[in-house]
Amino acid sequence: MPDSLTLTRVLDAPRDVVWEAWTDPQQLAQWWGPHGFTAPVVELDVQAGGAIRIDMQGPDGTIYPAVGEFHEVAEPERLVLTTKAVDGDGNTMIEALSTVTLEEDGGRTRLTVEIEVVHVAPGAEEAAAGAEEGWNQTLDRLAAFVSER
């Protein structure tokens, strides 16, 4: 994965619907992760300094835990957060700073996700290399989820 990545989508849903999809743990659990993945654990304390925990489960049953923190919460337009993919011992494998921006677009929502990779531990390069594809699949799942709401 490059040091930074910016992805943009125009979603067929109002901004408040997209905001809820990002900030309600029950909704986020329904679309988070690449195709074939689930999110059996989603805990979000959506406020500056609030904690994040998302466990993704791969098709083979492997759990990929992530923890993080919200740095900025400006409802309904902006989230800034740090996430860390951790190993079974809690060691950070990949750390990223993400900025999620939601803009009104004629009843739809222009979503921009900016990801800055802060750290990749030795041995995590392959996982980091798949991040762009994983994010694209995740945002495809989000688009489908909010269009049905």
Q: What is the pLDDT of residues 59-118, one digit of tens each?
A: 999 999 999 999 999 999 999 999 999 998 999 999 999 999 999 999 999 999 999 999
Environment class of residue 141 by beta-carbon count within 10 Å: exposed (0-12), middle (13-18) or buried (19+)? middle
Closest by Cα among 4, 1, 42, 22 to 111: 22
CATH number at 140 reads 3.30.530.20
Q: Which domain holds residue 32?
A: 4-147
Q: Mean of the pLDDT values across residues 48-62?
A: 97
Number of domains in the chain: 1
* pLDDT above 60 (res 39): yes
Cα 53 from chain centroid?
11
- In this prediction, residue 2 has a pLDDT band, given cuts at 50, 70 and 90, of low
Q: What percent of the chain has pLDDT over 90?
A: 93
Cα–Cα distance, 61 to 69 (Å, whole number): 26
* pLDDT above 90 (res 122): yes
Residue recorded with tokens 């910016």:
6
pTM above 0.85, yes or no: yes
